[in-house]
Chain A
Amino acid sequence: MIDSALAQAAIQLILLGLVSLLIPASYRVIVGPTLPDRLQAVDLITTLLIGIIVMLALVEGTQNFVDMAIALAAFAFIGTISIARYISEGRVF
């Protein structure tokens, strides 16, 4: 846990800011005129989620959330690569 009140308040504020940033990013997922735009916005959302999970690790003061963030980064990379390959090639493998 973080002891000082300043750091606690700052972490809560930044967590709130990151979560509210998810709304305009999902606007691009819904509106985005073409398929690569939506894929790119989903990639952006997973990047924001990694940041949110790191902030949650600061709030809780545990290491496990950072491991979750690493796993999310790995799976997001695989998903983005395969969907981008599907868009450009028409097939994944």
Chain B
Amino acid sequence: MLLELLGVAALLFGLFFCAVGVLGVVRMPDSLTRLHASGKVATLGLFGLLTGAALLMPSVWLRLLALGLFVLLTSPVATHAIAASVHRRREIVGELAESDSPVAPADMTAVDVTAVLSRSRIQDIIEAQERARRHQRPDERRTNDSP
């Protein structure tokens, strides 16, 4: 009976942190803060659920422990990879914004970065744009700006 009460309490703990994490992912303003919120689901939320399951069904505790250890190992790596991709995307968008080239649109959240493959590829695009601009006469450039 005590085990069941403890298990139900741990399950409720896990559900609470899952709800908090999902709320954070929906409501937080920024990519990295949303990553911070979704990390709570992977650690506290899922571990609460696994602890509750192990207390309610003691025959499978070893498999649940294996699952918990696996998530404990892989979840920070996945979060780190996503954070690195966010950082890389910001680098690319920043370079495009600084380059003052027509590739850079006004709304930076709409940039599709996977179209811009790597740093050398960005450099190629910028140089091609500048070469094209140098070969254009000023009146042509004005007509190209307002199609």
Q: Interface of A with B (CB < 8 Å)?
A: 2, 4, 6-7, 10-11, 14, 17-18, 21, 24-25, 27-28, 33-37, 39-41, 43-44, 47-48, 50-51, 54-55, 57-58, 61, 63, 66-67, 69-70, 73-74, 76-77, 80-81, 84-91
CA distance in complex: A28, B28 (Å): 11
CA distance in complex: A58, B11 (Å): 11
Q: How many A-B residue pairs have CB under 8 A?
A: 164
- Interface band, chain B: 35 or more
Q: Which residues of B contact A47 (CB under 8 A)?
A: 38, 41-42, 45-46, 71, 75
Decide if the interface of chain B is mainly helix, strand, loop or mixed. Answer: helix
Contact B4–A7 (Cβ < 8 Å)? yes
Contact A44–B59 (Cβ < 8 Å)? no
Contact B89–A35 (Cβ < 8 Å)? yes
Distance (whole angstroms) from the CB of B56 to the closest CB of chain A: 6
Contact of A54 with B50 at beta-carbon distance under 8 Å, contacts A43-B38, A74-B70, A81-B77 already known: yes
CA distance in complex: A86, B19 (Å): 30
* Chain A residue nearest to B107 in the complex (CB): A33
Q: Which residues of A contact B71 (CB under 8 A)?
A: 47, 50, 73
Contact A66–B60 (Cβ < 8 Å)? yes
